[in-house]
Amino acid sequence: MKKILIAILGIAVVGGGYYLYNQNQTAKMTAMKAMEAQKAAEAKEEAEKVAALAKTKACFIYIGPTGDFGWTYQHDQGRKQIEAELGDAVETAFLESVPESAEAQRPIENFARNGCDIIFTTSFNYMDPTNKAAKKHPNVKFEHATGFKRESDNVSTYSSKFYQGRYVQGQIAAKMSKTGVAGYIASFPIPEVVRGINAFILGAQSVNPDFKLKVVWVSTWFDPPKEADAAKALIDQGVDIITQHTDSTAAMQVASDRGIKAFGQASDMIKFGPKTQLTAIIDDWGPYYVERTKAVIDGTWKQSDTWRGMAEGNVVMAPFTNMPDDVAAMATKTTADITSGAVEPFTGPIMKQDGTVWLKAGEKSDIGTLLGMNFYVKGVDDKLPN
């Protein structure tokens, strides 16, 4: 008898633990559903049911928690904008901290099966799972961020020209740094990250041709203690400006402790370094998300490959803080020039890291090379992992 009791309790604990774990992952999703249910109950049943069926459902797969105050946070702001602008016509759902592996397949397909009309997968390595799921669910629209594979007609890709912001950051860094060396915390050697590193050093060299950049790869998008370790190591090795292509605010806090300057990533991180943040690249996904969801509602959705930047308002610079007026003025001007198209960061003459010529004077890079960028330009003090 006792044994049976224990067995039941054991199962209850395991089950309870698993339930809580799952519930947490989908807590907000459930809350939203509950609200929906409540609404439905309040109004007249039949009419409401029809309305609910007519609702377009936009679903999101996130790499980190919505509270990372970086990458995922910004995507979630975009999701909220859909709700705010399209109101009753839509319903949204999201899943946080979905690993970037084959495991991502299941949640994406779950969304596709459970009534999502459009699914945004918001990290590079969701590329293959997204395309696989798209083939199985031809009636669902898929939007993959930062990727380049569109294997069936119902997959679109989209990204932002973050590198434009990196160029501005590079210029600021070169003006502000006393040691002439900046540190870059990088996640994975994918084109998007490499492009950012190159744009940063090009911006810096446009101010100080001898500027150096140290790069550290942490092999994660989100691990605050690890990002902090990387920042400490870079600072110990003499960099006095930190920029990052990872999603947490840890590096900003370390820079703040050590009294050096840093750039925010993906989101305005000024709260975590009021005296530290020079500026931040803010990703504004809202307009794109609203536009695409609206296209699904109107039945005008078509496959596309969208790459927007400062001109379209997708890349926004946070206020230029903690710097002298002349540096802020320069940064403001460069931002305006990139927005108007007068300045394009990847314009020759640019040499590759090994000293060979990539772009001749005045020559602009083609989009294909930018999208698949797998080499460093001159001045990066690192060997690109492959």
Partner 1 sequence: MFGFSLDVWISIIISVCAASTPLLLAATGELIVERSGVLNLGVEGMMIMGAVAGFSAAQLSGSPYVGALIAVFAGAIFSLLFGFLTLTLVANQVATGLALTILGLGLSGMIGEGFVGQPGIKMLPIEIPLLSDIPIIGKILFGQDIIFYTSILLVFAVGWFLFKTKAGLQLRSVGDNHTSAHALGINVIKTRYLAVMFGGACAGLAGAHLSLVYVPQWVEGMTAGRGWIALALVVFSSWRPMRLLVGAYLFGAVTIAQFHVQALGIGIPAQFLTSLPYIATIIVLVIIARNRRMTMINTPASLGKSFVPDR
Footprint of partner 1 on this chain (CB under 8 A)? Answer: 5-6, 9-10, 13-14, 16-18, 20-24, 27, 65-69, 73, 96-97, 183, 189, 214-219, 222-230, 232-237, 248-250, 253-254, 257, 271-272, 381-383, 385
**Minimal distance, residue 73 CB to partner 1, in Å:** 8
Smaller CB separation from partner 1, 10 or 372: 10
Smaller CB separation from partner 1, 66 or 334: 66
Beta strand ranges found along 273-347 (DSSP E): 277-283, 305-308, 315-317
Contact status, residue 380 vs residue 198, Cβ threshold 8 Å:
yes
Q: Which of 158, 116, 160, 123 is nearest to 141 (CA)?
A: 116
**Minimal distance, residue 246 CB to partner 1, in Å:** 12
DSSP 261: E
- Identify the sign of the CA torsion 333, 159, 33, 21: negative
Smaller CB separation from partner 1, 230 or 350: 230
- Identify the sign of the CA torsion 143, 149, 150, 154: negative
Smaller CB separation from partner 1, 257 or 337: 257
Residue 276 CB partners (closer than 8 Å, separation 6+)? 252, 255, 256, 260, 261, 262, 322
Smaller CB separation from partner 1, 126 or 222: 222
**Minimal distance, residue 351 CB to partner 1, in Å:** 18
**Minimal distance, residue 365 CB to partner 1, in Å:** 25
* Residue in the block written with tokens 């041709």: 209
Smaller CB separation from partner 1, 233 or 297: 233
**Minimal distance, residue 221 CB to partner 1, in Å:** 12
Contact status, residue 194 vs residue 346, Cβ threshold 8 Å:
no
**Minimal distance, residue 247 CB to partner 1, in Å:** 10
Contact status, residue 143 vs residue 120, Cβ threshold 8 Å:
yes
